Amino acid sequence: MLYAAMCLLKLFLAEGVASYERYRLLKLYAEDQEMVNEIENLLSLPTFSELDVWNGPRPGRMNGTVSVPPTLYPALKKQLVARDIPFTVAVHSLKDLLDAAVLQSGSARRRTLPQGFISFDRYLTYQQIEDYLLTLSKRCSICYLTHIGRSFEGRNIYMIRIGRESKLAQDGIWIDAGIHAREWASISTALYIIHQFYELHESEEWVQTMLSSYDFYIVPLVNPDGYEFTRTTDRMWRKSRSHTGWDDGQSCIGVDLNRNFDYYFGGRGSSNNPCSNFYTGPSAFSEPETRVLASQIEKVRQRLRVYLALHTYGQLWIIPYGHTYRRPADYLDMVRLANATCVAQSSVFNKSYIPVSSYEFYLAAGTAKDWAKGAMGIKYSYTLELRDLGDYHFLMPPSEIEDTGMEMWSSLSALVEYMRDLKDG
């Protein structure tokens, strides 16, 4: 088994996978919100626009994590020392983490998965995801698959509505995943939810109750181009793969799709530098992926009661808004729902999930959740950061896929129960 995994690793490297050799992974520490703001201001300087910020620090819970190319490390280190920002070099070469992740996933990837089937012992390819959804649409009486559009490179983007009747009649809950290419666990979790509905809708009374209360609209893979690119070439790729512009004579590819929504577009936490991981794109909804997502949400906005955007990592339910330090007027309502779901999610495997305001994680304008709440009027709109707290970062091993899915399924069940109680109250 080890020999086979080593062969897979050599094959990946031979095909030109980005190695990230000598890229350092820095942990940044903040004791209070003032230090969080200082770190955010530093990392937003144009000098550091090409740093890869994995997450911001959360005092008492999680350190900030930044991937630093060798060319930027001396300047960043100097600034951190000058500003008295505590930091450590957690990993001296990111290549070591990526190599370990390939070895962890090697054995499952070698086992053949029949066409149209799903397995939660591995991360699926785009083609396997598409085959599964198409097969499910033929077998599942509560599953209504819609081809909603194509990505920049022409891959299909699907939405599956899970509900009792073909006629759209009742309130809805929207879930999407995979808007950031490297966040594989968000995609597998969305697929897990879909599969649970398929497996349990005839035998479990509570699942039948969920379906009698809400329709579930799920887009399991918003950014298929970026996702496939992470599988073949650059595991740490975040953006789409559109050809967006030029920066200092260098062609830079891709847009951060979660900065491309038309709600305070171009504000704090985003960048107009095409080479930045937070590049907004030339204009709001400039990208085919965000346009098709927004178009579908707009069609059913009057029925949507909840919007959930699945991401990794941090184990957080993030409450709007990301462009400002001000909380929405109904903030306490949103906290109450998030508390109920976090309790359920945390209890499955004793992993701590908590609600936070967006600015406590990091400022980010033009995001899907903010647009869903601020522009579409969907009261309960959240970003969900799934596992973990930084042990694996974006490289969660396949052995944790099913457990993460189980946590989210428990959380979704609690959400429906909470919303039903609101209706009855």
Is-catalytic flag, 385?
yes
How many CB atoms lie under 10 A from the CB of residue 335? 17
Bond preceding residue 171 cis, omega within 30 of 0: no
Q: Of 171, 184, 176, 210, which is closest to residue 372 (Cα–Cα)?
A: 176
- What distance in Å separates the CA atoms of residue 417 and residue 420, rounded to the nearest whole number? 5
CA distance 218 to 303: 14
Considering only CA atoms, which of 185, 176, 190 is closest in space to residue 219?
A: 176
Strand pairing category for 64-68 and 52-55: antiparallel
Q: Tell me which of 289, 360, 385, 407 is the catalytic residue.
A: 385
Residue 210: other Cβ atoms inside 10 A: 22
183 and 223 Cβ atoms separated by less than 8 Å: no
User: Which residues, 6 or more positions from 393, have their beta carbon under 8 angstroms from its beta carbon?
Assistant: 54, 65, 97, 313
Q: Kindly report the CA angle at 250 between 246 and 252, in degrees rounded to 5?
A: 60
> One-letter amino acid identity for 352?
S
Terminal-to-terminal C-alpha distance of the chain? 56
- Alpha carbon 408 to its chain centroid, in Å, reads 13
Find out whether 103 and 110 touch, Cβ atoms under 8 Å. Answer: no
Amino acid at residue number 291: R
What are the residue numbers of the active site? Answer: 385
